[in-house]
Amino acid sequence: MTTLPDWLVERVALDEVAAANRERVERADAGELAQRVAALHAENAAELTAYPAEPAVAQIEARAAAARKQRLARKRRMIGFIGVMSVAATVLIVLAIGRTTAPTLPDDEEVIRVKGSARLLAFRLIDDHVEKLGQDALVRAGDLVQLRYNGGGQRYGVIASVDGAGVVTLHHPMREDAPPEATALAPKTTALPNAYALDDAPRFERFFFITSDEPIDVAQSLAAVRALGDDGAAGTLELPSNVRQWSLRLRKPNHKGTP
């Protein structure tokens, strides 16, 4: 019998086993695999309980309210050409980089996870509504997504995403040419400094968390994400054996507005 690695058990739990790995799964001990999948589901349920959205909601909503007041004050001061140019500049910034400053997280979210169970947590802010996003949550263009990570004891990590149009975005570190040492992770649950505005790419947005005990090659990691091609929604990254991977997939409507 074959003992499956953690990342492949996670794919089984999500029903995302790529065709190339199905035979490997079939050779595994069915009883052991069922136990590991059940344990993973239990761990995920415990995680949702351990990371309640309410503490973050209060701070996110406070930031949103303050931002709305600032925007309103600016609009009252803007007239004619100045107002038009300011709005145009805002649109260009959003389209160009899709990022905005993320709110500060409360200290009680800084929980150290058991080694080997790295995870991403995602929150969505739409107007006054904030919610935690689980696996395969439905999102739409314009949604603002804030990510938090916990390396589960792993010291280094790369966070990147791919959307239904095949566009790959790097979230940590901030630059593709960053040295491997720049992939260092905080030892506790940490929010990325920028939130991410979803564009109108169809079908999905999938975030990958690639971790290791050693510095990670950023360019190599992004190349692995790009290599998924049409299999971006469910494929497994081809990475060195000393690197772990975990993903959070968010579903998006197609161009006709249906999931």
Per the CB < 8 A criterion, the answer to whether 192 and 147 are in contact is yes
Model confidence pLDDT, tens digit, residues 28-46: 888 888 888 888 777 766 6
Predicted local confidence at residue 84, as pLDDT: 43
Return the residue matching tokens 């050779």.
Answer: 27
Quick one: pLDDT at residue 75? 47
| Integer Cα distance of 217 and 213 in angstroms | 12
pLDDT of residue 3: 80
Provide the percentage of residues in the chain whose pLDDT is more than 70.
68
CA distances in angstroms from 101 to 37, 126, 197, 258, listed in the order given = 36, 15, 11, 30
pTM of the model: 0.62
Neighbours of 126 (CB within 10 A): 13
What does the block give as tokens for 21? 């790995």
> Over the stretch 234-258, which tens digit does the pLDDT of each residue have?
999 999 999 999 999 999 987 544 4
* Mean pLDDT, rounded, of the chain: 77
- Of 47-51, 92-96, 111-115, 210-214, where does the model show the most confidence? 210-214
Per-residue confidence (pLDDT) for residue 108, from 0 to 100: 34
pLDDT(12) > 90: no
